[in-house]
Structure 1
Amino acid sequence: MAAIPNFRLGRANGFMAKDKTKIVKETAGKLLELMGTVAEIEVVEDKENEAILVNLNSAEETGLLIGRYGETVLSLQTILVLIVKQKLGEWARVLVNVGDWREKEKIHLEELAAQAAARAKETGEPQSLYNLSASQRRIIHLFLAEDAQIKTESEGEDKERFLVIRKV
């Protein structure tokens, strides 16, 4: 599977960043309508991650929108990226967050990475982390990049891809 190029927030294919955020918001609203769910939609430029961040807030349907282990929110994100690509004619990095799920997920992944890195340092044995999405692996790679005693690599292909943490 080909990698999705980084999204730049400036002008591309005649679309300004504000036009892109408007298209993303309209598309997210239509998807939620088709799902039969109601949520407040906030779309902002995330310059740090060079992405468009879609925040969904729903008092009653947060669990439904997140899904088991974040499966629904990640699937919604994938569908949104594909539809937006069709509308814009280019790839756009879109991140979907429901409530504070993304923040909690990042904390959880960083704790998992810290534990695996500590085991790798202590035992000298590589530590493998399975069943992670590309974005989850990226969070761990970035988190452990600051540790000079640790090296991270993604191995495997497609759905079988996993992350390996090694002592340097």
Structure 2
Amino acid sequence: MTKVLASGKTIEDAVRNGLTQLQVTEDRVKVVVVEQPAKGFLGLIGSKDAKVELELIPDPKEEAERFIRDVAHAMGLDVQLTWSQTKDSLQLSISCSGDLGMIIGRRGQTLDALQYLVTIVANRYSDNHIRIVLDAENFRERRRKTLEELSDRLAGRVIRTRKEVVLEPMVPHERKVIHSQLQSHPKVRTFSQGDEPNRRVVITLK
């Protein structure tokens, strides 16, 4: 964290001087008074300025970006990051001229792990819980469509064979895609079974 020591005739002046050094507003700092101002003899000789220490409070989004850039740099990638606001979360999208396969991982497993970690990092510096959805080259949307198509195909198989289908273990948000896709299906229903991280979706006849 960045700290500065600033002085001024009054505590308010000292704080203002510190804010100017940091180029931030007062809500972004913690202020500790180091020395109170003191008047000298006859109000002139030996007078002392106020001294304050300003500690910069990290911005959650900036910390999240720093974390992702550091991870990408360790992978040899120079990434661009873009924020967008959704209904109930902040989405941080990663793009790169190189191959983002290492960041995405098998079926998005690395991306999910990074999303979990970046959410922890951001919430260390936030008073209110921040939900961050991490994406890379529109992987989330592509994966959603893949799961929806898979759901429809497997529902057809259940109807033809009259045997239930148990899918591979999935993370909660992917299981939700399967359930949502088939929730209004006239002939099949879905439910989840097992414990995390091996919880699976089951598709069976109604």
Tell me the TM-score normalised to structure 1 length.
Answer: 0.76
Q: Does 1:46 align with 2:86?
A: yes
Contact 1:38-1:61 within 8 A present in 2 as well: no
Aligned with residue 113 of structure 1, among 134, 142, 151: 151
Number of aligned residues: 144
Aligned with residue 60 of structure 2, among 23, 40, 58: 23
> What corresponds to 1:146 in structure 2?
184
Tell me the TM-score normalised to structure 2 length.
Answer: 0.63
Amino acid of the structure 1 residue aligned with 2:172: A
Aligned with residue 202 of structure 2, among 142, 152, 164: 164
Cα shift at 1:89? 4.5
Name the structure where helix makes up a greater proportion of residues. 1
Contact 1:32-1:38 within 8 A present in 2 as well: no
- Give structure 2 stretches of 5+ with no counterpart: 1-58
What does residue range 21-100 of structure 1 map to in structure 2 within 5 Å?
23-24=60-61, 26-35=62-71, 36=73, 37-47=77-87, 50-100=88-138
Amino acid of the structure 2 residue aligned with 1:79: L
Q: Aligned residues: percent identity?
A: 22
> What corresponds to 1:7 in structure 2?
none
CA shift digits 1:82-101 (9 cap, x unpaired): 22233224543321110121
Runs of 4+ deviating beyond 6 Å? none
What secondary structure sits across from 2:125 in the alignment? helix
Structure-2 separation of matches of 1:32 and 1:99: 15
What secondary structure sits across from 2:84 in the alignment? strand
Cα shift at 1:162? 0.6
Structure-2 separation of matches of 1:120 and 1:94: 36
Contact 2:60-2:124 within 8 A present in 1 as well: no
Structure with the larger RCO, 1 or 2 (CA within 8 Å, 6+ apart): 1
Structure-2 separation of matches of 1:141 and 1:92: 26
Q: Which moved more, 1:37-46 or 1:157-166?
A: 37-46
Name the structure where strand makes up a greater proportion of residues. 2
Q: Report the CA distance shift for 1:52/1:59 in structure 2 as closer, same or farther (over 3 A).
A: same
Q: Report the CA distance shift for 1:41/1:127 in structure 2 as closer, same or farther (over 3 A).
A: same
Amino acid of the structure 1 residue aligned with 2:86: D
Structure with the greater alpha carbon radius of gyration: 2
- Give structure 1 stretches of 5+ with no counterpart: 1-21
